[in-house]
Structure 1
């Protein structure tokens, strides 16, 4: 089955569309990457989205407009991915949508909202669409995140030592895929990855010029110095000490949060603020995985393109003879597209009637079949249900050469 996974993360800069050929071989799901395309949100849509996200206020009219326009943008990305990556022969679209709010209170998640109406995707592509992945896990008591944990567990199963999958998007999240025979897999959000860095760059670099939305190549952090008092205040955030499973988002880690932390710090230079936030990400990720005696951390997401963040993360992880840092590219999944591929797998699981969660990773009471299915234009024709879920995920190249197999 050829599945296109659509993903836009908490950085809300672009829609990633990754196409995969997925086939079941015994207890192993074989994933053959077919490629990835990326569609940047146009400036008007991105500004409207940014203006509606917490802590800003919004209206139901704005939510309706965003739901439609994001759905249309996802539809355009899906059409392009089907044409360029699948030769017009995709079987299924799996759309994560755009998360705009994750209602977390009192240590649990009460609701979650992703925009990007699936009907626009189904109508534009004529393919069935699986969407709305997170709410079912929340309804069964889970955090609704990180949903990629089931893919990480299948992918890294049998790898020696204690492998940890790390995603560095707007928010960082980890999956401790294997921590010994007596411990179940665990997954949780570590805190901000790029969220506060991006906010600082947009606000402080070059007077907040529109051309500055991220610390490209870590240039600002490389020029700056870590502001120790600010770093200490940021590290006092109670979220970091909360037990897993746990989840967070830009509902907490946003510009006003940063401004409050900076109160009384004078006026550090923009590059010093960015350096401090980059060190914060590296430190909190390393602190999160250290208790599990991780032997390797396999990183993906936009943060892997920041060489300063990766260097400091490597330094923090190795401070006590700790984990080796590598990227998912080394194991066959492009780091920029890994989450989109993961949602392609989640769509495949749903289409085959299989659960898409690991309860120990999300905190849910039981595994759940995720999402809702919107029929394609010819009607709904899904594959026969599979009674036994795959235990492992193998990544293969297009020429069927081996890239990595969970053992």
Structure 2
């Protein structure tokens, strides 16, 4: 299975190749290899009209196809690139995912599973965080003795909390790296604050932090979702208006915002498994541990899933579940009316032959041994 993931940061396409199988009610996921492919600058532009949307949809599909063609697998799963995620007053009214799967099927000759978020939204959910599909299964065993959480620090941060005897909860907590990257781009001309260097030299600005924390998203109960339509450079401009800030203090304050809002959602967890690009920011990881003094905060690498490729493995899992007719959403996490098989299948060059649908509900996920790792 080849999983393709392009997150809200639009900085790279993550690829994960994994062997997946069913062992009764448990999915066995064995990582084979993973890699990161830089995102072309020409595909980072925000589309402004139907022509731009068409060009971006085609360009992304072709890019995903070229990348997937470099790997060996029997099925491709693509989450697509979020172009717009429409949320009003806490309700998700639609989501637009680009990267036409026909281009992937044409480039690889393989069947492609895509369009996962849309089905959950159609069923009344937020279409996010779909990471809960992996997290709830993975944490089922890890949370037997104490609550456990999975935190992904991508462009937008999301958390899944699993507690024995309670339904799982999940949400987009707010900006992960989105505001940090927007600020770094303006200040340094680079896509991020490398190694958290600026943030580590700064101090939190209380006035700015108060303005940022006043955003209504943080007070809404889970399930909830958000995106860069909300947490973007314009959002940052409005929050910083009239304030005298050094670059270092701005980055330090944005680190504090991400850490504090993510930690709130993880407060009950004794184990917090962290993934995503934010794990490479020492300032952010230190702030997160400071706000979770009673928790064991560790990268997902420690438990067998590479922190930088966890969402690509999630995409592979979603494709596997769809291929076998199994639900790919967690209604308690996304707010959907019920479990749904997610995704649409685009045939490859050969006639489409689906396996018999699985009849045993999946209740757990076991990470198998990795054969190779890039």
Which of 6, 9, 31 in structure 2 is aligned with 1:8?
A: 6
- 2:207 paired with 1:224: no
Q: What are the Cα deviations for residues 129-149 of structure 1, in whole angstroms up to 9, with x where unaligned?
A: 000100110011101001110
* Closer, same or farther: CA 126–263 of 1 in aligned 2, 3 Å: same
Report which stretch shifted further, 298-307 or 373-382.
Answer: 373-382
Which of 354, 363, 370 in structure 2 is aligned with 1:391?
A: 363
Contact 2:31 2:371 in 1 (8 A): no
Greater than 6 Å deviation, 4+ residue runs: none
Q: How many residues align?
A: 370
CA–CA distance in structure 2, aligned partners of residues 110 and 392 of structure 1: 31
Contact 1:171 1:191 in 2 (8 A): yes
- After superposition, where does 1:125-144 map in structure 2 within 5 Å? 125-144=108-127
**Superposition RMSD in Å:** 1.2
3-state SS of the aligned residue for 1:157? helix
Which of 121, 131, 135 in structure 2 is aligned with 1:148?
A: 131
User: In structure 2, what is the equivalent of residue 328 of structure 1?
Assistant: 300
CA–CA distance in structure 2, aligned partners of residues 148 and 40 of structure 1: 22
User: In structure 2, what is the equivalent of residue 67 of structure 1?
Assistant: 57
How far the C-alpha of 1:399 sits from its partner, in A, is 6.2
3-state SS of the aligned residue for 2:259? helix
How far the C-alpha of 1:289 sits from its partner, in A, is 2.2
CA–CA distance in structure 2, aligned partners of residues 399 and 225 of structure 1: 44
Contact 1:41 1:73 in 2 (8 A): no
Report which stretch shifted further, 152-161 or 365-374.
Answer: 152-161
User: In structure 1, what is the equivalent of residue 31 of structure 2?
Assistant: 33
How far the C-alpha of 1:36 sits from its partner, in A, is 0.5
Which of 299, 304, 313 in structure 1 is aligned with 2:288?
A: 313
User: In structure 1, what is the equivalent of residue 257 of structure 2?
Assistant: 280
CA–CA distance in structure 2, aligned partners of residues 129 and 44 of structure 1: 25
CA–CA distance in structure 2, aligned partners of residues 45 and 349 of structure 1: 30
TM-score (norm 1): 0.89
How far the C-alpha of 1:240 sits from its partner, in A, is 0.6
User: In structure 2, what is the equivalent of residue 180 of structure 1?
Assistant: 164
How far the C-alpha of 1:44 sits from its partner, in A, is 2.0
Which of 138, 141, 147 in structure 2 is aligned with 1:162?
A: 147
Q: What are the Cα deviations for residues 51-103 of structure 1, in whole angstroms up to 9, with x where unaligned?
A: 33xxxxx01000000000000111111111x2xxx3xxx11100001001111
User: In structure 2, what is the equivalent of residue 404 of structure 1?
Assistant: none
- After superposition, where does 1:233-244 map in structure 2 within 5 Å? 233-244=211-222
3-state SS of the aligned residue for 2:135? helix
- 2:234 paired with 1:245: no
TM-score (norm 2): 0.97
Q: What are the Cα deviations for residues 150-206 of structure 1, in whole angstroms up to 9, with x where unaligned?
A: 2111111022300000000000000012x231x10111000001000000011123x
Which of 172, 176, 196 in structure 2 is aligned with 1:189?
A: 172
3-state SS of the aligned residue for 1:154? helix
CA–CA distance in structure 1, aligned partners of residues 197 and 11 of structure 2: 19
User: In structure 2, what is the equivalent of residue 354 of structure 1?
Assistant: 326
User: In structure 2, what is the equivalent of residue 55 of structure 1?
Assistant: none
Contact 2:79 2:116 in 1 (8 A): yes
CA–CA distance in structure 2, aligned partners of residues 200 and 399 of structure 1: 39
CA–CA distance in structure 1, aligned partners of residues 289 and 221 of structure 2: 24
Contact 2:202 2:248 in 1 (8 A): yes
- 2:99 paired with 1:116: yes
CA–CA distance in structure 1, aligned partners of residues 313 and 140 of structure 2: 17
3-state SS of the aligned residue for 2:174? strand
Which of 163, 171, 180 in structure 1 is aligned with 2:156?
A: 171
